[in-house]
Amino acid sequence: MAPTKSPYEKGPPLVGNNKLAIYIDPEKCMGCRSCEIACAVAHSTSKNLFGAIFEKPLPKPRIKVIVANFFNVPMRCQHCEDAPCMNVCPTGAITRTPEGFVVLNANKCIGCLMCVMACPFGHPKYEPAYKTVLKCDFCIDRIREGKEPACVEACPVDALQFGTLEEILEKVRKASAESFVTSMKVPGIVYTKPVGKEQKETEEKPKPMDLYSLYSEVKWY
């Protein structure tokens, strides 16, 4: 049975503003690492959180949250147009899909680490337990089923957003416009509308359950 065509697909190969991408917003990321857990589960045999933790070898995430200058940054493969990892692979284990994703065939990988050394983002990683290099595959199977990548679906604060470049840029433009109309920004200074004393007193204080509610839509299993 042929795989279901992704609703995002405009015709292979995807180029320009139709190219699929994941937008990372470090200002929103709170370092909960939900994306790492979801990625590991998505690449497990059981595809289930409770089953994945008992698998041998233990499933590994293809995304990693890095702390840089007080910001949490979910780092993943950039699926470069001119991918150095693909260019240096001596066995052709790394190829590009019609959707434009750079993927690795573990059956062809010989563990030479050429891709690891060539990647400017330090993404591919050799895992001794798997005896092969692991890298992000953009959850290509999920995309072809019309789903979002696992890391995007699991993020409770929308620090990761998925779509075509045009869709993502439209969201960024809208967010910037909303920010512009609520405050006047000058380098180093932000002027905001003053809040009255009465308004402050009526504001509800955060509750422990507020954080729990953020995870109500997370689907790990």
**Cβ atoms 142, 42 nearer than 8 A:** yes
pLDDT at position 88 is 97
Amino acid in the structure at residue 186: V
pLDDT digits (tens, 9 = 90+) for 22-43: 999 998 999 999 999 999 999 9
pLDDT (tens digit per residue) in 115-129: 999 999 999 999 999
Res. 13: pLDDT tops 60? no
Return the pLDDT at 66.
93
Which stretches within 75-189 are classed as H helix? 84-88, 114-118, 140-144, 150-154, 165-182
Averaged pLDDT, 56-60? 94
The pLDDT of residue 134 is 96
Q: Does residue 105 carry a pLDDT above 90?
A: yes
Q: Which of 62, 39, 52, 72 is nearest to 157 (CA)?
A: 72
Q: What is the pLDDT of residues 70-83, one digit of tens each?
A: 899 999 999 999 99
pLDDT at 69: 86
Where do runs of H (alpha helix) occur along 22-164?
34-42, 49-52, 84-88, 114-118, 140-144, 150-154
Measured from the Cβ of residue 47, the count of other Cβ atoms closer than 10 Å reads: 13
Domains and CATH numbers, the chain: 16-76+136-214 (3.30.70)
- Across the strands, what pairs with 183? 192
Q: 133 or 198, which is more confident?
A: 133
Angular region, 65: left φ>0, alpha ψ -120 to 50, beta rest = beta
pLDDT band at 214 (very low <50, low <70, confident <90, very high): low
Tell me: the pLDDT tens digits for 194-212? 655 555 556 666 666 666 6
3-state secondary structure of 114: helix
Q: pLDDT-derived band of residue 158, with 50, 70 and 90 as boundaries? A: very high
Task: Give the pLDDT confidence score for residue 89 in this predicted structure.
Answer: 97
